[in-house]
Amino acid sequence: MATKLVIFDFDGTLGDTRRKIIITFQRTMRERGLEVMSEEVCASTIGLTLEDGFKAMYPTLSDTEAEACVEHYRRVFFEDIDSTIPELFDGVEDALARLSAMELKLTIASSRSSPSLTLFLKSMGIADYFSYIVAADTVSKHKPDPEPVLQTLSVCGYKPEEAVVVGDMPVDVLMARNAGVRSVGVTWGNATRKELETAEADYILDHISELFDCL
């Protein structure tokens, strides 16, 4: 069945937010007296919610402590957010324009919270391409749970076989698989090709222009 719906991840797939995320994580860790994790460890949590990310890095954190870390992170993140709008990855805007011209429904399923996600999409000039957005605060279960995809399918009125998920992390691939939807892993984000292969992505791309061969 032909693809009618493309569900994009945001961080590491459309926008290059890696450096901002890592700097904010590490500053939060220092200011809260936590062990400062390496760039690689911080990056490995991208795609999870902030709370899940902190718990993955610090398994002994209580729920209360994790929530405090999230609040601290968000405060730091928004301090200079207007001067740190992420750049689109190469070819992304052209690809979105082409997909839109093909009359495909474009949506986003992100573990980022709505305020920063909305701000980024508008500031980057791509908000109008997306007809539906799932953020961390609009679902009760998060990647790799299928809820973000299932909610999108339900609201937009498509079958799993009509959709594809595009993301840079194994949790994106697993979310798609758990929802019965094809997955496209991309290598320009925060995971390696090997990690995407291990997650069993249906397709793996090195540039977004290759996406059209998967549709």
Among residues 11, 16, 52, 168, the one annotated as catalytic is 11
Question: How distant is the alpha carbon of residue 40 from its chain centre?
Answer: 17
- Provide the H-helix boundaries in 14-109: 18-31, 39-43, 50-57, 63-79, 92-101
**Cα–Cα distance for residue pair 17/47, rounded to 1 Å:** 11
Among residues 9, 16, 168, 172, the one annotated as catalytic is 9
94 flagged as catalytic: no
11 flagged as catalytic: yes
Tokens of 205: 């791309």
Where in the chain does DSSP place strands (E)? 5-8, 15-16, 87-88, 105-109, 132-134, 163-167, 182-186, 203-205
**Residue 78 buriedness (CB in 10 A; 0-12 / 13-18 / 19+):** middle
Which residues belong to the active site?
Answer: 9, 11
